[in-house]
Amino acid sequence: MLKSQIKQIVTQAARELNINLQVAHAVYYQYWNWVNDTLSSYPLLNTLSEEECSKLRLSFNIPEFGKFYTNHSLAVKVEKFVEKRYGNKYKKDKTSV
């Protein structure tokens, strides 16, 4: 469902801006790939000190969506929640990353 909505929005934007549909899709996905690559390049936040986390860029302002961000304390809370919910399965998967 989301993919069809994205395709529709990108198609409409391409028409309105009079650009090639393939170029519009490439630009859209390049932006999200950049966000994903940036976040994936960070070390696990729970292994860093609060000071080291504060030096990283942990927020992204995405037009029409708003600001996505995290910080050290939020990362630790999420880590505890996931560990509690998924237990040993999570620990096993985490070591293979």
User: Above 80 in pLDDT, residue 46?
Assistant: no
Could you tell me which residues are beta bridge partners of residue 30?
A: none
Which of 41, 38, 82, 42 has the alpha carbon at shortest distance from 62? 38
d(CA 48, CA 46): 6
Cβ atoms of residues 61 and 35 within 8 Å: no
pTM tops 0.85, yes or no: no
- Whole-angstrom distance, CA of residue 97 vs CA of residue 83: 15
The torsion defined by the Cα of 44, 30, 32 and 58, in degrees rounded to 10, comes to: 50
Work out the pLDDT band at 68, boundaries 50, 70, 90: confident
Of residues 11 and 59, more confidently modeled: 11
pLDDT of 61 = 84
Give the pLDDT band (50/70/90) at residue 88: low
Whole-number pLDDT of residue 6 = 85
Nearest CA to 46 among 84, 85, 79, 95?
A: 79
